[in-house]
Structure 1
């Protein structure tokens, strides 16, 4: 996937916006080969996938227990938060969302250490 920002102002301002987001998150501006497209992480037992340009996807264990002799119920899947705008490495990793409807997530959200990282293709 080639690098982009979700909802940038213009092509000319992409790098300036990305730099401003990194600085606001108190993160280093990564070189093109270290820009993150997607992270998978676990928070309070729920697995999240944050991907630039999409809403966070969550997979939570079912709240019901399986009946004896039956298969476990499938996990619950849902979307959480707004559109992911940028992801920055660090301790913790930081995920920025495009401002939108009210969300329970801080902006940027601290997501700890991911279990999987996918980088943009370097230009």
Structure 2
């Protein structure tokens, strides 16, 4: 497992970004920053906001400024391919769909709540 060297948390609400960064700092040795990062320095760009739920939403960050090796992930599960992921894919970037994230997170959440960890996000046996 590789450790995160640095992490920039960006949120429209700067106070919320600082609060999340402080929380992460309690369990991580990564260099933490808040605010809009320099997109050219990004390896993984993750949209963890509701921006993109509506087809009329603007992209949450400028995909065209990312380096060619970047991976773009979106936590939005429906629709599977969001405008963000479509834009990243069109640039030739690797993408990670929200449903993939959920399928890996649900066994952890299910276990936390005392349910079988063999359930997927729809509650069907894996």
TM (normalized to structure 1)? 0.26
Structure (1 or 2) with the greater helix fraction: 2
Structure with the larger RCO, 1 or 2 (CA within 8 Å, 6+ apart):
1
The structure richer in strand per residue is 1
